[in-house]
Structure 1
């Protein structure tokens, strides 16, 4: 599904500080998602882009909380790729992480973009690596609210 922003929407990252957090899990795919996200932020002239790595997806909420408290970014883009396995762990990871990120952003009043691809298989993840562009645009849109 392709999402197109309105053509009259002008996004700019000038004067903005965005932190991107990426887990090491599924690193090869995650790195491509990161590159797409960072490329879009740069094309929108984002002043400062900070990249932070964490071990896994479930570490994202705590990392976001600490970074917001210490670094005061305008927004965080929490990236990740979770691929379904043979256990319920997939559902647990996605649900807990989503709820944790939502709680942190509402409590600390800083936008956290949910850039986690929850995929049934590796091919589905590969097909969605271009979503980084949308995560970057969403961050700048949320900052402008």
Structure 2
């Protein structure tokens, strides 16, 4: 079993409060977040949806690379973007969509097998499984020609 830890410190009430996000590895260390970084366009910090998107893209990319390895194909490059949408629902908010966009270079892999491996990676990635309550997780996968 593997267990990873993140820590958040929050001060203040609601909209006026401020927080800091840190991870045990130090990859994130006291990264600021608050109302403006989450609901407005303040880029001086982060927000939970951006971090969730990064985690999902990272997990999916690894799952895809491992799936290719298992099928006998070595990935040269895998680039994944995850767009996480936070939508108003009643009095609160819900993540109602995650759109994954994959571009990968995998020498020797044909389009049909590429699409099948990408869909399997989306299905089997641990974060996709953890996010199963999100109503829509889409995947747009493009095989990039490469050597």
TM-score (norm 2): 0.27
Larger radius of gyration: 2
**Structure with a larger share of its residues in helix:** 1
**Structure with a larger share of its residues in strand:** 2
The answer to which structure, 1 or 2, has the higher relative contact order (CA under 8 A, 6+ apart) is 1
